[in-house]
Amino acid sequence: MRKLAVIGLGHVGATVAYTLVTKGLVDELVLIDKNEDKVIAEQYDLLDMLARIDTSTKIKIQDYASLKDADVIITTFGNIRALSDGGNRFGEFDHNVAQVKEVGQKIKESGFNGVIVNVTNPCDVIATLLVRYTGLPHNQVVGTGTFLDTARMQRAVGQALGEDPKNVTGYVLGEHGESQFTAWSTVRVKDHPMAEVAAEKQLDLPDLDNQARRGGWLVFHGKKFTSYAIATCAVKLAQAVLADAHLACPASVFVEKYGCYVGYPAVIGANGVEAVNHVPLTKEEEDKLTSSANFIAEKVASVK
């Protein structure tokens, strides 16, 4: 039986739950949120559509004890009102640092021994703290991290070239935040090195990198939240765990060298992070990654 839980039923958590149920990806779904009315509303909105879809999902609410035999928990709690247009994801820092301790301890008390997929921002810091408070090993906690930012880079490059974003490969690395960067040495378009494509098409790589970095704020400016793309990333990682897919992708994972979680290539499967997939980078890219990871580590160290 495929059992998954979502903790935090805001825009992202609700979209994750809707996706899981409509696609029939889980047999049992547990929904948890501090707002009791919101959880009940989401539960019944999902239950009311079961008679009209081709699959069935058992939906439970507000039951941490039932997490004991869950395969995956997706953490999406947060305070979107703490963010402002064009700001940074650390607007939610104080609120979510307080919440992660409470959530982490309750997950630990439940006896959960599956994989946590963290979405809550600042993603890399919260993923690091989830390990601290749940007691789970690093491989069993993964953050969406730059999985989303890489998709935004693929979209930006695809738009610039009139290409399907799926034909663009490569990585955005570092913090899921302002210090992230596109590792252009890893990017290819239909297997052609990005450096060659950029020279031929006269592309402005710094501008494309900025489009990836600022993509979330473009959406936030109009909607006052983001939901579809990040929910899709979370579900994709959860599916990789459920199917033991050994999905090679960028994600927020623990990198021993830096002592914290940071966006980096990894392999995701039934055990969570099956491997950290070390890839060659240029000296400039290595320096950017070190700087970004050090920023994350400093934020983690500030949490006593």
In tens, the pLDDT along 45-76 reads 999 999 999 999 999 999 999 999 999 999 99
Domain count for the chain: 2
168 and 137 housed in the same domain? no
Average pLDDT on 141-146 reads: 98
In the chain, the percentage of residues whose pLDDT exceeds 70 is 98
Name residues whose C-beta falls within 8 Å of residue 29's C-beta, 6 or more positions apart in sequence. Answer: 3, 4, 5, 6, 17, 20, 21, 46, 57, 58, 59, 60
Q: Which of 138, 176, 192, 221 is catalytic?
A: 176
Among 78, 77, 82, smallest CA distance to 107 is for 77
225 and 189 housed in the same domain? yes
pLDDT for position 85: 54
Average pLDDT on 193-220 reads: 95
Among 127, 145, 144, smallest CA distance to 136 is for 127
pLDDT for position 80: 81
pLDDT for position 81: 77
Is 176 among the catalytic positions?
A: yes
Residues tagged in the binding site annotation for NAD(+) = 8-13, 33, 96, 119-121
Both structure tokens of 270: 């039934």
Average pLDDT, the chain: 96
Both structure tokens of 194: 């990005």
Burial category of 66 from C-beta neighbours within 10 Å (exposed 0-12, middle 13-18, buried 19 and up): middle
69 and 120 housed in the same domain? yes
Give tens-digit pLDDT for 270-295: 999 999 999 999 999 999 999 999 99
Bridge partner residues of 168 (DSSP): 189
Residues tagged in the binding site annotation for substrate = 81, 89, 121, 152
Amino acid type, 218:
L
pLDDT for position 84: 59
pLDDT for position 38: 98
291 and 164 housed in the same domain? yes
| Residue 269's CATH number | 3.90.110.10
Name residues whose C-beta falls within 8 Å of residue 52's C-beta, 6 or more positions apart in sequence. Answer: none
Q: Minimum mean pLDDT among 152-161, 208-217, 241-250, 257-266: which range?
A: 208-217
Structural domain boundaries enclosing 167: 146-301
How many other CB atoms sit within 10 Å of the CB of residue 100? 24
Both structure tokens of 268: 């995701």
235 and 297 housed in the same domain? yes
pLDDT for position 86: 53
Amino acid type, 144:
T
16 and 114 housed in the same domain? yes
Q: Are 232 and 23 within 8 A, CB to CB?
A: no
The residue out of 98, 127, 143 marking a domain boundary is 143
How many other CB atoms sit within 10 Å of the CB of residue 171? 26
CA 2 – CA 247 distance, rounded (Å): 18
Average pLDDT on 157-185 reads: 97
pTM equals 0.96
pLDDT for position 79: 87
Residues in the chain: 304
Give tens-digit pLDDT for 71-113: 999 999 998 877 655 556 688 889 999 999 999 999 999 999 9
Average pLDDT on 248-270 reads: 97
